[in-house]
Amino acid sequence: MFAANVAFAIEPLTPVPVHGDVVVESFALDATSFAPNGMKTTVYLPPDYADGSRRYPVLYLNDGQDREAVRLRQTLQELIVSGGIRAPIVVAIDMPPDRMGAYGLSNRKAGTNLVARTGAGGIGTNAHAYSEWLVHTLVPAIDARYRTRTTPDARAILGWSLGGLNAFNLGWQYPEVFGRVGAFSPSFWPASDTTDDASMQRTRMAQRIVDASEPRNGARWFFAVGTAEEAADRDGDGIDDAVDDTRDMLEGWNPDTGGMKGLKQLGYSVNADHAARPTRADASLYLLPGGKHEQAAWARMLPVFLRWAYAVNAPALQATGRVDSYQDVPSSHVAARNVDVWLPPSYATHPKRRYPVLYMHDGQNLFDPSMSFTGIDWDVDGTMTRLVDARRVREAIVVAISNTPLRGNEYMPAGAASAEQRRYVRSDDYLRFIVDELKPAIDATYRTKPSREDTLVMGASMGGLISAYAMSEYPDVFGAAAGLSTHWPANDGAVVDYLATHLPPRRTHRFYFDHGTATLDASYAPYQQRMDAVLRAAGWREGRDFISRAFPGAEHNERAWRDRLEVPLQFLLGR
């Protein structure tokens, strides 16, 4: 499996266990506004840090003074040496002098603290200053001092109790910095009105922030709570408030009857029982049976969180046949993403046989309906199995590459982008990831036929555009490309015009294109006809060098692409 490397180097998909000890360094940074004597920071480096040029994800940890009590070093050591996680750098930040003041909520846009008044004092009186220091002083210092990965998907923030509340705040207020958030026993109870229990329920401040916000695209959330944290039960439902408050943050509090939205209502997928079955949900809740509000419980939660955040293998898919799943595959070119590798039926029984490889975009939509954008997957596994059994296609490995919130920027061909779009388009970087990093790793790990004629690429909509662009930019790598409902209207057909002068050689390459006639596909026919004319003018023979199909009544969605998937698969992999 992939190691956490962003320098250009090809690493095997199966990790070699790392030996040696986690290295610990300590230093202090100035934080005059809220900590006159500076902030102590302890950094844990992976055992192999000194051995090369590899770059690592970084986990920032509130309440770093608890590092021994929660068994931080021992847990890291055990998981790294066993190969269970991709090793992160961990930055443990000792609590500020005024812990309650710093570990609260803030309003980044207004530059203010969101203070919760309690009998013990104000929670969050220095929250904005602490958050700004962590983001604008500590993070740049760590990035300058160590070999870190600097994209949001590679930065996580973790805390417990009030430190968990602040970790949530940092993830919500600074999504461009922290793409992963962990909160153990998070203090989601502070409220702006403490008159009575009903008022507290209605004015919980963290829940209010979510209720009034837009989703933080790409962020993932892990909450862990003990089932015996406290006896308080504001709403009298027999469940203690620590559990209820966290569930409300995930699933909303009476969202359909004038309550407050949770992450689910903002469009995040939610796994309410990570202990029973880990999934790839955007937000997960782990309940620790009998866990109390104490360091011993947080020590037990820590390995679960580290596996959630840094596991080599992603949670398994519900799919036909064998699928090897890799979590947050790192790249020196683009943000990390999941990659799933489907192996053909004979792979395990014919150890000397080699197979063509089909690379597919929007990978989370291909195998498992629970992960698909619309709840309907392409059924690539089922369709491939049926076609192989019927001897209508060659057996092939399918590499499904999940998209990210930057899907549009990564799938829009840079050569056809407008001047304004070129500031944001990342398609050339995305293709470098596939060609320079992913394909060599796949070829090194699996029994592939790595040649051009056996390396294929396919996608739908914008995925169709990037598939055609991939073959035009890398004609020595890809021998055939397929685009279902290819989104030619982008920039009014600019990709068609670009391909007209950048076609690969027709004698050695093949294109498949199709479209429906309903919903978004209703506008595609004129553009596809332009593309067909370009191919004919260049001497491409229809039916042999390329195919262009229309499917009357077909819509622009996963169901439609699933229903006709066997057509492009037979063109790409026909016997």
The fraction of the chain above a pLDDT of 90, given in percent, is 87
Q: Give the per-residue pLDDT at 9.
A: 40
Question: Residues 269, 282: contact at Cβ < 8 Å?
Answer: yes
Question: Residues 240, 232: contact at Cβ < 8 Å?
Answer: yes
Integer Cα distance of 551 and 518 in angstroms: 9
Among 148-157, 213-222, 272-281, name the one with the lowest average pLDDT: 213-222
- Quick one: pLDDT band at residue 132, thresholds 50, 70, 90? very high
Q: Give the per-residue pLDDT at 7.
A: 32
Of 519, 516, 549, 520, which Cα lies nearest the Cα of 532? 549
Q: How does DSSP classify residue 54?
A: -
Q: Dump the DSSP string for 396-413.
A: -EEEEE---TTHHHHHS-
Integer Cα distance of 311 and 307 in angstroms: 5
Question: Residues 329, 339: contact at Cβ < 8 Å?
Answer: yes
Report the pLDDT averaged over residues 25-36.
89
Of 365, 460, 353, 484, which Cα lies nearest the Cα of 411? 460
CA 254 to chain centre: 29
Q: Give the per-residue pLDDT at 8.
A: 31
Report the pLDDT averaged over residues 189-207.
95
Q: Give the per-residue pLDDT at 12.
A: 54
Of 97, 110, 92, which Cα lies nearest the Cα of 31? 97
Integer Cα distance of 381 and 26 in angstroms: 50
Question: Residues 457, 358: contact at Cβ < 8 Å?
Answer: yes
- Quick one: pLDDT band at residue 10, thresholds 50, 70, 90? very low
Report the pLDDT averaged over residues 123-130.
97
Half-sphere exposure of 459 (CA within 13 A, CB side): 28
Q: Give the per-residue pLDDT at 310.
A: 96
Q: How does DSSP classify residue 366?
A: S
Report the pLDDT averaged over residues 145-174.
97
Residue 192 has pLDDT above 80, yes or no: yes
Stronger pLDDT, 71 or 19, i.e. the higher one = 71
| C-alpha dist (Å) from residue 281 to 76, 162, 176, 266, 566 | 24, 25, 20, 14, 29
The model's pLDDT over 435-444, given as tens digits with 9 standing for 90+, comes to 999 999 999 9
Strands 455-460 and 357-360: parallel
Stronger pLDDT, 560 or 4, i.e. the higher one = 560
Integer Cα distance of 191 and 81 in angstroms: 43
Strands 455-460 and 480-484: parallel
Q: Give the per-residue pLDDT at 1.
A: 33
pTM over cut 0.85: yes
- Quick one: pLDDT band at residue 373, thresholds 50, 70, 90? confident
Q: Dump the DSSP string for 462-491.
A: HHHHHHHHHHHH-TTT-SEEEEET--TTGG
Question: Residues 485, 561: contact at Cβ < 8 Å?
Answer: yes
Residue 2 has pLDDT above 90, yes or no: no
Q: Give the per-residue pLDDT at 232.
A: 86
Query: What six digits make up the tokens of 346?
Result: 């004979």
Q: Give the per-residue pLDDT at 217.
A: 81
Question: Residues 400, 458: contact at Cβ < 8 Å?
Answer: no
User: What is the distance between the terminal CA atoms of the chain, rounded to a whole angstrom?
Assistant: 31
Q: Give the per-residue pLDDT at 6.
A: 31
Residue 14 has pLDDT above 70, yes or no: no
Integer Cα distance of 354 and 350 in angstroms: 9
- Quick one: pLDDT band at residue 236, thresholds 50, 70, 90? confident
The model's pLDDT over 448-501, given as tens digits with 9 standing for 90+, comes to 999 999 999 999 999 999 999 999 999 999 999 999 999 999 999 999 999 999
Q: Give the per-residue pLDDT at 17.
A: 63
CA 85 to chain centre: 16
Residue 5 has pLDDT above 60, yes or no: no
Q: Provide the Cα torsion 558, 560, 561, 563; round to 10°.
A: 120
Report the pLDDT averaged over residues 62-88.
95
The model's pLDDT over 88-125, given as tens digits with 9 standing for 90+, comes to 999 999 999 999 999 999 999 999 999 999 988 999 99
The mean of the pLDDT values for the chain is 94
Q: Give the per-residue pLDDT at 11.
A: 53
Query: What six digits make up the tokens of 285?
Result: 């809740």
- Quick one: pLDDT band at residue 227, thresholds 50, 70, 90? very high
Half-sphere exposure of 123 (CA within 13 A, CB side): 24
Burial of 431 (0-12, 13-18, 19+ CB in 10 A): buried
Half-sphere exposure of 518 (CA within 13 A, CB side): 9
- Tokens 């169709």 found at: 464
